[in-house]
Amino acid sequence: MTEAELQAAAPALILASSGVLLAAAALPGRVRLGALAWLGVAFALSAAAAAIAVGTGEAAFGGSLARDGGSVFFSALIAIVAAAELTLIAADRRHARHAAGGEVGLVLLSAAGAALMVAAADLGLLFAAMALLAVPLAVLTGRGRSGARYALLSAAIAAVTVYGVALLYSATGETGYAALGRATRNPLYLGGLALVLAGLAFHAGLAPFSAWSPATHERSSPAVSVHLAVVARIAAFGALLRLAGATRSGEAPVDWEASLAVLAAITLALGALSAIGERRVKRVFGYLSLAQAGAVAIAAAGQAPSAVAFYVTIDAALTVGAFAFVASLRSDEPTVSDLAGLARRRPLLVAGFGVVLSGLFGFPPTAGFLAKLYVFEAAARAQLLWLVVLGAIATVVTAVACVRLLLACFAPPRSDMVAPARARVATALVLAAAVITIVLGVAPGPLLEAAQAVRF
Amino acid sequence: MLAGLLTAIAAAVAAWAGVGATAAAYVWASPIGAQLAIGADRSSAAFLMLTGVSFAAGAAASGAVRSPRAYFALWSLLQAAVSGVFVARDLVLFLACWDAILAPLALLMWHWGGTDRRAATRRLVWYWMAASVPLLTAIVALGVGARTFSFADLSGYRLAEGSQVILAVLFLAAFAARLPLFPFHAWLPRAYVAAPLPVVLVLSSVISKTAAYAIVRICLPFFPRGMADVAPYAIGLATVGTLYGALLATRQRDTRLLIAYASVSQLSFIALGAFVATPDAVQGVLVASISHGLVVAALVLLAGTLARRAGSFSFGAAGLGSRAPVLTSLVLIAMLAAIGVPGTSGAPGELLILAAAFARAPGIGALAVLVIVLSAGYCLALLRSVLSGPGDVRHADIGWRDRALVIPLLALVVAIGVAPRAIGDLAEPAGEQPGSAR
């Protein structure tokens, strides 16, 4: 490996090797999960630091692994979110009991796949990275029928994607993205792109390819939910933007706007409307994360990578905060009525949760407001004003769901309720997410500047 | 309480000091195009002073609330958001402050309100949130089209007439729900009954004025032709609204509901001036807004005093005429100001708007005059309920604390009535070129 190749692959390499290492360390069985998870946090943060320190540069491996603004920003973000997930695993006492030490390694391996996905500029590599993302996830979502459903759908969508890759290869004769620009407009080419888009939409959580999402969120641990909702989404949108960038120019330019706008509209409407009536807290967040995916897709349809980058960063903080809140609850599958009395018993947690929820529906002065505005601006620039209207309505509808959750915390406690568990780390994560949301809302300058560097 | 009072007074003083101060702009989110641009020209300063006065009066009137720390924290947040609307010189900042008003207001109503508070808060929240959809859409569309969100740049930007009409309608839809204009007022009566009295005070006195201010500050300078096209319909709605509110007010037997419908009437009247949009009318809007803000603040405080004596807000023969002369005369002055009798602050704004309405369409002017007759009707009904009847020894006169609150407000009302140019002069630069704040 030359130095340039090493630099381009650094974040993914660190994540993957530490994943293998920690998975091997967990094999003997009698290892403390907490220690493993904190070790994983350190590895993930060092991967993020490596991504930022190495910076942009020449693409490596014959142009198949990019090292541009987009890959650096997104892989750093993926590594940071992975660190937050491992913190959640470390904080989770329920899991500590059955010592699923392999989880730590699997999360890191899957994050490595995500980091590769955002940098992949080659169809073969893209498919391999997607598999590296999805296979550990299928294990992580694990037990029960919903886990099986995710695994099955994930395998099916992998088959669809590889079929799309094959079609694209037969249309262009090469697997590199550079060749896509030279392709002529033929059915094989367009069909291949559509199939790959379906694969990416699955991981991005875009309806109608998101049928797995609510049930899987309900059955998964909060850390895995964050991985599904944030890391997989960042990876999918990163890959999508790179693919769209490669095919938008050239001999047969493809217009991604219409298809992405339709996906965004369906996802937004579905997520926002389903969230209103839902009684199970994890499912509410699942639906809210669908709505967030729709908003990101609006920015992607508006061809604004910077808006995508800004939005997914804010969304990452908000989603980590939301699922950390779930992790802090005593019940494994909490319903809305389980939140009653929480405001009196855990005022700090509920205050942080309130900020996170306001961020989720874009209330000023949280960063969610600016993020929504940035996305809508991108859509308006691309003449997609109808998406802005739809997005604004969806914002109000999600606000209904968010306010309902918050008010549930203020309801008087039921007499048969046990005191909520003490969850210091999870509470700290919620509060950190709240602080980040407010700080980035008031002073978004540095993050916005970093997002400006995101190009594909 | 003291802290809340002090902040409010400090804000009022700062507004005095800030008159004509140069506007400032800081980088907030430059890739989005949003700046933290703030500025206080003279009309903003008038509204800022009203904000300070009302919030100070409201803070002083909320003496014995439960959990005062949370209450006054929200109170200050509310004041900050309202003041933000008046000083924002950037549409994104304006939108942020405009939406941010909702959270502390709803929480204050939800937690400290009366019996109907949950339903009333819910209704207010849905109305206002629904109204923020067109506002958000219009601001994004305008900002992207003009490539700027800053007021200073927008005032020099001329849109095509078609888009002006669409944008004017979208902005007006949002502002009409908050003002409220006639068909969008369903949240108001319940909110006035359910909210705690100090919150009713600021809601009616200042928060409703954010909408009147926004029409004059944003719609008129940025979409003059769009507003001219929309004007006939808007004037029609405002006229219907002002008559409708006044008619309903004459039928009320509860002081809070009377104030609520009277406010619908008066605010629609103010909106009428804004839609007529001649320089005189715009100046009338400013003077009438300030006047209504002060008068309604005094009225809400007096209604609270009366209710404490009678035990409820509903009309009853209190017989205060002989027992409580000071209270009665204060109610009388407030009523006269609400009717718009010359010598009180109600008169100049009303006259300016009426004259402009007559000039625009005599029929509208005639209908608007009818409103004044109706307002005399409902005011007299309230007065009669206060004055007449057998006296009761229990009814002491108004206490010193309430006197200290109401008398300064009414003194301001009379002072403005005697020397309306104090505000008129303030308004003049803004009235001529409202968008020219630098």
Q: pTM for the complete prediction?
A: 0.90
B394 by Cβ neighbours in 10 Å (0-12 / 13-18 / 19+) ranks as exposed
Rg (CA), chain A: 21
| A96 has a pLDDT exceeding 60 | no
Pick B427 or A338 by higher pLDDT.
A338
Question: Chain B residues with CB-CB distance to A under 8 A?
Answer: 27-34, 92, 95-97, 99-100, 103, 125, 129-130, 132-134, 136-137, 140-141, 143-145
User: What is the pairing mode between strands B34-38 and B24-29?
Assistant: antiparallel
pLDDT digits (tens, 9 = 90+) for B48-63: 889 988 998 888 888 7
Which of A365, A377, A385 faces B96 most closely, judged by CB atoms?
Answer: A365
Please write down the HEC assignment for all residues of B30-94.
CCCCEEEEECCCHHHHHHHHHHHHHHHHHHHHCCCCCCHHHHHHHHHHHHHHHHHHHHECEHHHH
A173-182, A278-287, A435-444, B253-262: lowest mean pLDDT where?
A173-182
A376–B136 CB contact, under 8 Å: yes
| A100 has a pLDDT exceeding 70 | no
B141–A369 CB contact, under 8 Å: no
C-beta atoms surrounding A143 within 10 Å: 9
CA A373 to chain B, closest CA, distance in angstroms equals: 7
Element (H, E) at B29: strand B24-29
CA distance B149 to B163: 16
Sequence-separated (6 or more) residues with CB below 8 Å from residue A314:
A359, A367, A368, A370, A371, A437, A440
Taking contacts as CB-CB distances below 8 angstroms, the residues of chain B near A306 are 31
pLDDT digits (tens, 9 = 90+) for B302-357: 888 888 877 778 777 667 777 778 888 888 899 889 888 888 888 888 899 999 99
CA distance A67 to A70: 8
Taking contacts as CB-CB distances below 8 angstroms, the residues of chain B near A445 are 27-30
Residues B164-185 have a mean pLDDT of 91
Distances (CA, A) of B91 to A145, A374, B186: 50, 13, 27
B113 by Cβ neighbours in 10 Å (0-12 / 13-18 / 19+) ranks as buried
Pick B14 or B126 by higher pLDDT.
B126
CA A389 to chain B, closest CA, distance in angstroms equals: 6
Which of A373, A444, A452 faces B140 most closely, judged by CB atoms?
Answer: A373
Distances (CA, A) of B242 to A227, B182, B263, B367: 56, 8, 9, 9
Give B215's pLDDT tier (boundaries 50, 70, 90).
Answer: very high
A445 in contact with B, Cβ within 8 Å: yes
Structural tokens at position A19? 């994943």
Which of B27, B99, B140 faces A380 most closely, judged by CB atoms?
Answer: B140
Is the ipTM, as predicted for this complex, more than 0.90? no
Q: Peptide bond preceding A208: is omega within 30 degrees of 0, i.e. cis?
A: yes
The C-alpha torsion from A323 through A428 and B106 to B81, rounded to 10°, is -120
Strand partners, A176: A122
pLDDT digits (tens, 9 = 90+) for B57-96: 888 888 778 888 888 888 999 999 999 999 888 899 999 9
Distances (CA, A) of A199 to A126, A208, A256, B260: 11, 12, 15, 57
Which of A369, A377, A396 faces B144 most closely, judged by CB atoms?
Answer: A377
| A183 has a pLDDT exceeding 80 | no
Percent share of chain A, pLDDT over 70: 95
Sequence-separated (6 or more) residues with CB below 8 Å from residue A182:
A172, A250, A251
The DSSP secondary-structure symbol of B219 reads I
Which of A136-145, A184-193, A194-203 has the highest average model confidence (pLDDT)? A194-203
**B157-167: buried (b, 16+ CB within 10 Å) or exposed (e) per residue?**
eebeeeebbbb
The DSSP secondary-structure symbol of B207 reads I
A101-105, A381-385, B294-298: lowest mean pLDDT where?
A101-105
Structural tokens at position A143? 């037990």
Taking contacts as CB-CB distances below 8 angstroms, the residues of chain A near B27 are 445
Give A98's pLDDT tier (boundaries 50, 70, 90).
Answer: very low
Packing angle of the helix pair B68-87, B102-112 (nearest 10 deg): 150
A262 by Cβ neighbours in 10 Å (0-12 / 13-18 / 19+) ranks as middle
